[in-house]
Amino acid sequence: MSVAEAGARASSMRAVDAVEEYLVVRGAAKPSPHTIAAYRRDLLGVLGCVAEVGRCGRAELRVADLSGGVLRQAFAGFAAERAPSSVVRAWSTWNGFFGFLVAEGVVEGNPMPGVRRPRVKPAEPKPLMGEDTPERLLEALAAGCRRARDPWPERDLAVLALALLTGLRSAEMLGLRVDALSGRAGERRIRVVGKGGRTRSLPIEAPLEVLVEAYLRSREVRFGGRVRGADALLVDNRGRPLRRGGLQYLVRQCYRHAGVHDRVARGTLVHALRHTFATRLAEDGASVTEIMRLLGHTSITSSQSYIDVTASAQREAARSNRTYGVLRRLAEDGASAEAGAAG
């Protein structure tokens, strides 16, 4: 396609139509519905800001209107009411969108490198605070601390223990089926479908295996029927698959009734359990590769953050400071002098 033809197509093609074409193409990679919805929000959100800059309706915009100067103004408006991480995500979405337009010959080049984006500090893990908090939480749940109208301590304990001992994301937990658990007794593994449809197999030890089996037995008694392999592993008090809001409410209530709600970092619920799992792995000497595989990370940088913040890693680094060698020698000399004087 010639430059003139590309310009003509860009002039005639509505921006909102180009967005929908792009989302159809992205759908071939089988992203989750949540991912597609996030792409659409980012693209249409910034388009709304472009429309404000041009003082027109979003549906009136053409691809040719999306110049670097206009996008810089639009992103400035978009960023005014949003967190830096949201702006960076939107920038990446738009960068991919223009990559698609260039490949399709709709535009000659990608203006996004000329649009500034904020620097985002790497997110630090936020595990449950307090060395004994996981144990205190599980012991309280096992003792029936959660006084709900329709208590189900076996289910509550299974959910919290599963999160603490596998580090699963919320969506991964909600997607589990009963037959995700497989293997011989004492050698069980749980098959997880993670981000991007990637699967991983996680080992679970006998105590968690026993606890999950107790939960499934209580479920059969509660609802009067056998649990099948294709059924959701985690269900609500009516026997329906547990959903995101229900999981968050359950975890929040467990924290509150166990008396550890003040040990949960603001903005974390289920993710605090995932962070606790990973942080404890790092403290106990797991390598960054092992943590990466267990958490289902695609970037080693994400896994490295858990090692970077562990108390043991920090203490080991401080201990290696050569100045401590001088202090140790001084302390030894002082002790020797005291012993000589006493003799």
In this predicted structure, which of 59-63, 164-168, 283-287, 292-296 has the lowest mean pLDDT? 283-287
Tens of pLDDT, residues 155-207: 999 999 999 999 999 999 999 999 999 988 778 899 999 887 889 999 989 89
Crossing angle between the packed helical segments 270-283 and 311-319, to the nearest 10 degrees: 30
Work out the percent of the chain whose per-residue pLDDT is above 90: 58
| Residue 287 in tokens | 């390598």
Tens of pLDDT, residues 115-160: 998 887 766 788 899 889 999 999 999 999 988 788 999 999 999 9
Q: Is the pLDDT of residue 106 over 80?
A: yes
Tens of pLDDT, residues 202-239: 998 989 999 999 999 999 999 999 999 999 999 999 99
What domains can be seen in the chain, in order of their start residue?
Answer: 3-114 (1.10.150.130), 132-316 (1.10.443.10)
Cα angle value 337/340/343 (rounded, 5°): 150
Q: Is the pLDDT of residue 305 over 80?
A: no
Catalytic positions, please?
Answer: 169, 195, 271, 274, 297, 306
**How far is the CA of 196 from the CAs of 27, 200, 299, in angstroms?**
12, 12, 14
Question: Virtual CA dihedral for 55, 61, 67, 69, nearest 10 degrees?
Answer: 20
> For residues 105 and 2, is the Cβ–Cβ distance under 8 A?
no
Q: Higher-confidence residue: 61 or 299?
A: 61
pLDDT recorded at residue 124: 77
pTM, 2 dp: 0.64
